[in-house]
Amino acid sequence: MRDKKKTPPYPFEPEWVQPARCRGCIWGRLEGTKQFCSLPRCMHGDSMLERG
């Protein structure tokens, strides 16, 4: 029988953090790994396309 080598588990789970400029904004929310904003233009002056 061959010795099956297991891949060690990933050392840590990535923590998805809401962008600093979006924290506390009532118009947007963090959905999984992406920031979603219902406004066409950010109240802080950045467009949605620049947010990523």
1-52 pLDDT, tens digit per residue, is 555 677 777 676 667 778 888 888 888 888 877 888 888 888 776 544 444 4
pLDDT at 23: 81
pLDDT at 44: 76
> Across the strands, what pairs with 31?
34
DSSP code for 2: -
Positive/negative CA dihedral, 15, 21, 39, 51: negative
pLDDT at 13: 63
